[in-house]
Amino acid sequence: MTWLDLRLASRNVFRQGLRSMMPILVVTLSCYVIILVGGLYQYLFDSLEQSVIRSEGHFKIEAPGFTENQISGFVTENLIAKLKSLKEVRVLAIRSPISGIIGFGEQSSVFSGQVIDPYAEQVMQKWPNNIGIKEREDDQKASIGSLLALGLGVKVGDWISGISGYESFAVEIGEILTTDSEESDRFFLRLPYRALGGINYRTVRSVHVQINDPAKLADIIQEVQFIFNEVGIKNIKITEYTSPEGYISSVQRIYGDNLRFIMIVLFVTVFFSIATTFTLSLTERIQELGTMRAFGAKSSHLEVLFHLEALYLSLYGFVLGTIGSLLTGVVINWTGGIKLPPPPTVHTAIKVGFSFNSIYLLSAFVLVLMVGQLSAFVVTRKIGQLTIIEQLRINT
């Protein structure tokens, strides 16, 4: 192989025009899909832990058997104070379920949602930073599902009133949001505890704990269990989100299995698509090869030229596909990402962006290079079995 062979192979690719465009397009789309899908999943893996920690904490405390119909909950003000006093606890957020009837003007509707401590939730959302956290007046306003707001004719700034159990409330709407499902949007309402006159510990059903050092998670959980044992509550359920065997790891394994399945399907599809396109493109030039052999070109030299052309087609398609996937990733991140439904037990939707991972780039490169060279090898072997006369007779 000489420098002249490289130039000749490159000129042949451009000289073929439309015939070269098809394999380049297939390679481009193949690389584009592999790199983009891999980048989206990589971002999902990177952001899942942070998203769950900010919405649910490092672990959640519940008490199996305590239902909304019971008179008393499983925590008290004194117990919450003890949990907050633990050295490594960054913030502790308590949440209560709520349901009832709300009204605005002549319209009314049933609702179902949560009662929260807005300041604690704001601190959780800022993890791991503590900069710019302060209680705001807007935090004491309600958040309402978009479909529920539409049915009532409510907009931001309106006041609604409602009844839940033995309690009544009036609160200003501060946010109209879209939840993870239309069914939830029709009934969702999130209230601050202040709207109900303060925290009623009998209604608390979950305690979400965020800690300063995730490495000390096991020690903190032991201390929490000890505090509950001291007051005679031994059947608490603790859901860990960040431990190696915890919730986040299990969700990542599920998404990882999905990614592996998608990549296997992609690789098989891409393999046969590229192989078929390359084979057809090269096979169409049998007569051209016969002419070159008639003028004295050796079969081994023609095989080298074909492999070089396949290499150029693969490289051109790879570069275009890579550039296209990276630009698409930039656009996705610039527009705020793709909103996906939350994983099980999590109530906050996940936004997926693009995160570059060289593994997917290398995988795409190896795949298209290997398939291109394999296609060139199969075609040249097949053509090499024909005589010059047989090659010249094809398509004539």
pTM value is 0.63
Q: What pLDDT digit, counting tens, does each position of 97-156 carry?
A: 999 999 998 899 999 999 999 889 888 888 877 665 665 655 689 999 999 999 999 999
Structure tokens at 32: 């584009």
For the purposes of burial, counting CB atoms within 10 Å of the CB of 282, is it exposed (0-12), middle (13-18) or buried (19 or more)?
A: buried
Cα–Cα distance measured from residue 158 to residue 117, given in angstroms and rounded to the nearest whole number:
21
Q: Are the CB atoms for 39 and 364 separated by under 8 Å?
A: no
Residue 188: which pLDDT band, with cuts at 50, 70 and 90?
very high
Cα–Cα distance measured from residue 224 to residue 85, given in angstroms and rounded to the nearest whole number:
11
The domain locations on the chain are 3-54+249-393, 58-240
Indicate if the pLDDT at residue 186 is higher than 80: yes
Q: What pLDDT digit, counting tens, does each position of 339-388 carry?
A: 776 665 555 566 788 888 888 899 888 888 888 788 777 776 766 655 65
Contacts 24+ apart (CB under 8 A), 40-46: 40/332, 40/338, 40/352, 40/353, 40/354, 41/255, 41/259, 42/355, 42/356, 42/357, 42/360, 43/337, 43/352, 43/353, 43/354, 43/355, 44/255, 44/340, 44/350, 44/352, 45/252, 45/255, 45/256, 46/355
